[in-house]
Amino acid sequence: MATPAPHALLLHIASCDALIAHHEHHIATLTKQLQQQQTQLDAAEAEHATAPKKLIAMKKAIDDLELELRSIDEDLKHKHRQLSIITAEKQLRALEHEIAMLSRKKETLNDLQVDQWLAYETFQHEQISQNPLVDSQLEKLRVTVASLQQDIEQTQSLLATTQEEQQALVNLFDDHWAPIYKRMKIHMQDPVVIVQKDSCGGCFYPLQAQMLIKLRHNEVITCMLCNRLLVYTTPTISAPTTSQ
C-alpha cells in the first residue's frame, strides 16, 4: 500500500480527531440525559411501589382502632353490670363518671375511624384510576432509558471504530512523527490543525512566510507557539480587489 502524502495523512487524522471529539461529546450528552431519566424512573418506580404499602398501613390503623373500640365496649358492658350492683352513692357517681368518659372516647374514636375509612377508600380509588396512567408513564420512561442506553452503546462502537481507523493512520507515520503525534495526543484533543488565514488553526498564532513556503511544499511543520502539527490545504483563489 502506498503511503499517502504527509499532509493528506495528517488531514485524515485530523478529521478522525474531530469525529472522535464529536462522538465523545455525544456520549457525554447522552450519559447526562440517561442519568436524569434514570433518576426520574427510579423515583417514579419507588413512588409507585409505596402505594400498596401505604394502603396496608392505612388498613392496619383502621383495624387497630376497631380493636380499641371493642375493648372499650367490653369495658362499658362490665361497668354497666357493676352499676346495678353498687349501692354506695360516692362509688356510683364515680362509676357513672367513668362510663361517661368512656362513652365520649368511644364516640371520638368512632368518628376517627369513619374519617380513616373515607381516606382509605379515596386513596384506593385514586390508585385504581391512576394506575393505567402511572403504568404508561413508567413504560415511557423505561423506553426512553433503554433507547438512550442503546444510543450510547452505538456511539461507543462508532467511537471505537474511528479510534481504530485513526490508529491505523497513525501507524503510517514515520518514526519521526509518530512519537511526536502520540505525545501531543496525551495533552490535546486536536494535535493536527489546518492553517487558517496563514495562522495556526489551533492557537491562531501567525505563521512566518518561511513556514508557509515549507507548508506549500508539503513539508510537515509544527506551530511555534502550541506545537500542533500544521496542515495546509489549497487556498481558495481570491478575486482581485478593486481597492488598489
Compute the least distance from the CB of residue 209 to Zn ion, in Å.
17
Compute the least distance from the CB of residue 194 to Zn ion, in Å.
11
Query: 3 vs 189, which CB is nearer to Zn ion?
Result: 189
Residue by residue, DSSP assigns 150-198 as HHHHHHHHHHHHHHHHHHHHHTTS-TTHHHHHHHHHHH-S-SEEE-BTT
Contacts with Zn ion, residue ranges (CB under 5 A): 200, 202-203, 205, 223, 225-226, 228
Query: 191 vs 202, which CB is nearer to Zn ion?
Result: 202
Query: 50 vs 205, which CB is nearer to Zn ion?
Result: 205
Compute the least distance from the CB of residue 49 to Zn ion, in Å.
57
Provide the b/e sequence for 94-111 (b: ≥16 CB within 10 Å): ebeeebeeeeeebeeeee
Query: 15 vs 227, which CB is nearer to Zn ion?
Result: 227
Give the 3-state secondary structure of residue 230. Answer: strand
Q: Which grid cell is 167?
A: 490508529
Do residues 152 and 34 make contact, with C-beta atoms less than 8 angstroms apart? yes
DSSP state of 199: B
Q: CA-CA distance, 190 to 211, in Å (whole number)?
A: 20
Compute the least distance from the CB of residue 207 to Zn ion, in Å.
9
Compute the least distance from the CB of residue 47 to Zn ion, in Å.
54
Query: 221 vs 225, which CB is nearer to Zn ion?
Result: 225
